[in-house]
Amino acid sequence: MATLEETLQQVEKRLEGKNFAGSDGVYQFDIEGAGSYQLVVQDGQAKVISPPTERAGVTIKMNAENFQKMISGEQNPTAMFMAGQLQIEGDMMMAMKLQSLLA
C-alpha cells in the first residue's frame, strides 16, 4: 500500500490540468495519526495543502488506510460513510461532490 505522502502526490497528479470551474470550496481531511490536509478548489484550480490554512466548508475524518482506499477508488466515499468508516462535519452537499472531483 502507498504511503500517505504518495497518496497525496497521486491526488495532486490527478488534479493537474482539470478545470474545476463552479466547484470552489475547501475540503479538509483529518487523517487519524497522520495530520490534516486540505484540498482547496478555487478559480477553476485545485491544490493539496498542509498544514491547513483555509476555513474548510467540510471536514472529513478517517484513518490513513481508509483515506488511501477512498483516493485510489478502491472504496466509494458514500459507502464508507454509511459503514461508519469516515465522519463528515460541515456541508454535506459539498462532501457529496468530492467523488466527482477526484474521479
pLDDT bracket for residue 1 (50, 70, 90): low
**Would you say 75 and 69 are in contact if contact means Cβ atoms under 8 Å apart?**
yes
Residues 6+ apart with CB under 8 A from 16: none
Does residue 60 register a pLDDT over 90?
yes
Q: How many CB atoms lie within 10 A of CB 29?
A: 26
pTM of the model: 0.87
Tell me the residue type at 15: L
- Give the N- to C-terminal CA distance of the chain in Å, as an integer: 20
**Would you say 94 and 23 are in contact if contact means Cβ atoms under 8 Å apart?**
no
pLDDT of residue 90: 97
**Mean pLDDT taken over the chain:** 87
**Would you say 70 and 79 are in contact if contact means Cβ atoms under 8 Å apart?**
no
> How many domains does the chain fold into?
1
pLDDT of residue 101: 79
CATH number for the domain including 75? Answer: 3.30.1050.10
pLDDT of residue 20: 75
The stretch 49-60 carries a mean pLDDT of: 94
Domain of residue 72: give its range.
Answer: 4-15+24-102
pLDDT in tens, 18-39: 777 778 899 999 999 889 999 9
Does residue 54 register a pLDDT over 80?
yes
